[in-house]
Amino acid sequence: MDFDDLEDAEEANPEAVAAAKEEEARAFEEQKAAHQREKDEEAKKAAAKAKDAKQKLDEARQAKLAKDNDPEALREACEAWDKAHRVKGDVATGVDAARQAGFVPEGPVKTVRRIWCVSDVHCDHEQNQSYFKQMDNTVFKEDVLILAGDISHELDVLETVFTACKERFAEVFFVPGNHELWVKNDTHWKESAEGDRKYKDSMDKMTYLLDLCESKGVRTKPGVFECGGEAIWVVPVMSYHARSFDTEPDIADHWDGIGKLESQVKDFACSVWPSGLDPATDDVADALDGLNDTWVTKMEPSLSSSFSAVAKALPGARAQAKTRMITYSHFVPRLQLNPEKRFLFYPNINKAIGSRALEKRVNSLRPDVHVFGHTHFGWDAVIDGTRYIQAPLAMPKERSSFSVTVIGDFPDFEDSKPLLLRDGRDWPETYQAGWSEYYKTFPREAYRTEAIQGRMMRLYKWKGPGPQPSEELCFKDRKPGWELAPSWVFEKLAKQAPGFDGGTHGMMLQAGKKS
């Protein structure tokens, strides 16, 4: 029977229509329930996979099996981590979001698992070369290593370290430091006739080193990776130091023996610069900073375009597009990232640690993290939204004595491992480093220029009017940075000098045991 509408049907046979409606409703509910059961089952499976993966990762992390003794455990844990996050779909969509924003070029993007950093490895010292030789050659195969300068001024040492790092890491990034640019004590430069030298001065050596890196597969230009479902740009920043970087008052003239910068900083004696570049001015720092613009023009066009876009973007826009940036330099990008003059063995060193050009460059890039080196002070601090980290291996003597220069969470004197900078989608928790901890508590008081710390008093002679200022006035009811280092530092140093006590060293050890 053909009815024009439902009202006609209900009027002709209301019971049949009511029964049909009920049947239709039951069928719909059954279909809905079946669909929900299917979704629930899929959700349960996904949740179970994620839970199992997370449990495996947690177990591996808690036991530290992977990090210390068991590379297989690390690989299993990392695979579990990947599964946990791929269930959520983040890895599949992260780089796509960055690409849609123009922050990643078309084509495949290499996936890495973790990013590590270390600076100032000074492998002219055999003990420091063993740091790389003893490093595990299996657990970093999907990781990135950032070398923030000062490996050596010797070409053969540089090549040895590059080879060791490339054998262990998926990708290696590097920027030359001041030591790399020394030529007067460079064996090749000294033993070669002037016409046979591979480079004629420090600027020429810089170009040679960048070419050497390229031939060894070591990166010195920006690169982008997928890490933990986000696009991570790793951006080297070429730099040098200039006196104008130091804008704080000098130590009072009443202290005698501090000496001129040229006589205390070896760079002036060992480097040779082209005519027209005066290292006593901003010339060298500005010239090396200019290389950062030059290499962008030498990048593959689509990569260069993506880097230009991400470099101009605000951090919030990057975050929305699941894009992060890590920059790194050898030199110090902010004066606040080094102790004040009254705390330093050589007070004027702040005139040879960074430059205004470097500071301007990093400020313009607005990275999530900036890695630096040069001063050998462990550091981890956030300034204007950027996290600044220094992770120096430093000199063997600095690691085996009560030196204030390397006290902090890094390096662990017995563990050949860089500092973890990024683990999948996570940044590491804040590292405890003595002087950065100090400045989290106390403001800079650069105007205090009369009193200096006790060990400096043995180096310099007071000739001012009135009595010599006491060390207590230097800190003025504050704990020095070395007292804020983690306790394991002091425990290990105490084992190396078991009979030592008293003086500043004893104070440091006692403070460390209390923490």
Buried b (16+ CB within 10 A) or exposed e, 466-498: eeebebeebbeeeebbbbbbbeebbeebbeeee
Query: pLDDT at residue 401 above 60?
Result: yes
27-34 CB contacts, 8 Å cutoff, 24+ apart: none
* Pairwise CA distance, residues 187 & 152, whole Å: 11
Taking only the tens place, the pLDDT of each residue in 338-353 is 999 999 989 999 999 9
pLDDT of residue 92: 38
Q: Which of 363-367, 389-393, 477-481 has the lowest mean pLDDT?
A: 477-481
Query: pLDDT at residue 149 above 80?
Result: yes
Position 464 confidence tier, pLDDT thresholds 50, 70, 90: confident
Position 499 confidence tier, pLDDT thresholds 50, 70, 90: very low
218-222 CB contacts, 8 Å cutoff, 24+ apart: 218/162, 218/165, 218/166, 218/172, 218/173, 218/174, 219/171, 219/172, 219/173, 219/174, 220/173, 220/174, 220/175, 220/295, 221/295, 221/298, 221/299, 222/296, 222/299, 222/303, 222/307
Query: pLDDT at residue 373 above 60?
Result: yes
Query: pLDDT at residue 501 above 50?
Result: no
Query: pLDDT at residue 465 above 60?
Result: yes
pTM of the complete model: 0.79
Q: Which of 152, 77, 81 is nearest to 122 (CA)?
A: 152
Helices 90-100 + 71-88 axis angle, to 10: 70
pLDDT of residue 411: 61
Taking only the tens place, the pLDDT of each residue in 55-81 is 665 555 555 444 445 555 555 655 554
Task: Report DSSP state, residue 429.
Answer: P
* Pairwise CA distance, residues 228 & 426, whole Å: 8
pLDDT of residue 478: 84
Report the pLDDT averaged over residues 210-215. Answer: 96
Query: pLDDT at residue 295 above 70?
Result: yes
Task: Report DSSP state, residue 450.
Answer: S
**Which of the two residues, 213 and 74, has the higher pLDDT score?**
213
Query: pLDDT at residue 406 above 90?
Result: no
Report the pLDDT averaged over residues 261-285. Answer: 94
Q: Which of 112-121, 320-329, 414-423 has the lowest mean pLDDT?
A: 414-423
Position 52 confidence tier, pLDDT thresholds 50, 70, 90: low
Taking only the tens place, the pLDDT of each residue in 123-145 is 999 888 888 888 888 999 999 99
pLDDT of residue 345: 87
Residues near 100 by Cβ (< 8 Å), separated by ≥ 6?
A: 321
CA distances from 341 to 226, 344, 353, 504 (A): 42, 5, 13, 18
Report the pLDDT averaged over residues 212-222. Answer: 96
Task: Classify the phi-psi angles of 99: left when phi > 0, otherwise alpha if psi is within -120 to 50, otherwise beta.
Answer: alpha
Cross-strand partners of 223: 234
* Pairwise CA distance, residues 515 & 513, whole Å: 6
Report the pLDDT averaged over residues 416-443. Answer: 91
**Which of the two residues, 3 and 333, has the higher pLDDT score?**
333
| Percent of the chain residues past pLDDT 70, beyond the cut | 74
SS (H, E, C) 166-190: HHHCCEEEECCCCHHHCCCCCHHHH
**Which of the two residues, 388 and 33, has the higher pLDDT score?**
388
Query: pLDDT at residue 508 above 80?
Result: no
Q: Which residue matches tokens 């070369």?
A: 129
* Residue 314 burial class via C-beta count within 10 angstroms: exposed 0-12, middle 13-18, buried 19 and up: exposed
Is the C-alpha dihedral spanning 62, 68, 72, 75 positive or negative? positive
247-251 CB contacts, 8 Å cutoff, 24+ apart: 247/335, 248/335, 248/340, 248/341, 248/350, 248/444, 248/446, 249/341, 249/446, 249/447, 249/449, 250/341, 250/347, 250/348, 250/449, 251/341, 251/342, 251/347, 251/348, 251/449, 251/452
Query: pLDDT at residue 2 above 50?
Result: no
Query: pLDDT at residue 513 above 50?
Result: no
Averaged pLDDT of the chain? 82
Q: Which of 123, 115, 134 is nearest to 394 (CA)?
A: 123
Q: Which of 354, 338, 353 is nearest to 438 (CA)?
A: 338
CB–CB of 239/357 below 8 Å? yes
Query: pLDDT at residue 109 above 50?
Result: yes
Taking only the tens place, the pLDDT of each residue in 254-269 is 899 898 999 899 999 9
